[in-house]
Amino acid sequence: MARQSGLIKIKGTLDNVSFYKTKDGDLARMKTSVDGDRIANDPAFVRTRENNSEFGSSARSGKLTRDNLRPISMNATDGRVVARMTKIMTQIKNLDTTSVRGARNVGVAMATAQAKALLKGFEFNREAMLSSMLFKPWAVNTTTGVITIAGLVPTLDLIYPEGATHVSFTGAYANINYATGIADVKLTNVQNLPITATSSAITLTPTVVPTGTGAKIFLLKIEFFQLVNAVQYSLKNGAFNALKIIEVI
């Protein structure tokens, strides 16, 4: 894959080179002469089929995660979250040391501490990362899912965008079984504060503990608002909102 340069950008195909536009700019790549039927059946492409199978499995695990976390993530993601989540799931899949090549998957690998460590810390919005905005430590009770932040002073402990007058904190406790595809996610209460020098205790409690078995995933979200005539409006349609996976067990 190559990047197009120059004033004139080409779109279409020229001499077996495809020119196209993406979020990453204007790119070009050679067209392949190998058809899908040969890739699916020719013994020479067995490694390709194995790689494609594992990539598809990793992509489905990423989609399982995103779909089930949509209630909390829908206004706190960037345009590359799908690709970044798939990349993490591919790295996790590689930790499956028991399945044969072509069948390695996230469901097996997620039982390992290394896999959980890879997923922990995932930021859903790289343009507004929680790790770069919140400077007060949080604590997670991994039994109840309660998230607490003691003595938060918004003007001191937050990096907040210009125009923001209020901030909201929300948590989530998710139980996602990557082997079965079954998930249960419970959100916490929302705690809204004015951005002032007043100290507050944040306590986010899930409605109930999620059921099922699988990876237990805990998330923390920050949203910014602007107060206008007694109504809080989401600042720049959520562009400054942050969401992070803060623990996985």
> pLDDT tens digits, residue range 83-117?
999 999 999 999 999 999 999 999 999 999 999 99
The tally of domains found in the chain comes to: 3
What residue numbers bound the domain in which 26 lies?
1-33
pLDDT in the model for residue 232:
96
Tell whether the model's pLDDT for residue 44 goes beyond 80.
no
Tell whether the model's pLDDT for residue 10 goes beyond 70.
no
Residue 50's pLDDT band (cuts 50, 70, 90): confident
Same domain, 10 and 100: no
Higher pLDDT, 8 or 203: 203
Same domain, 213 and 231: yes
Residue 133's pLDDT band (cuts 50, 70, 90): very high
Write down the pTM of the prediction.
0.85
DSSP states along 103-143: ---HHHHTTSHHHHHHHTT-BS-TTS-GGGTB-S--EE-TT
Same domain, 151 and 190: yes
CA gap 249, 244 in Å, rounded: 15
Do the domain assignments include residue 97? yes
CB 58 within 8 A of CB 89: yes
pLDDT in the model for residue 51:
77
Do the domain assignments include residue 125? no
Same domain, 153 and 242: yes
Same domain, 219 and 153: yes
Same domain, 46 and 14: no
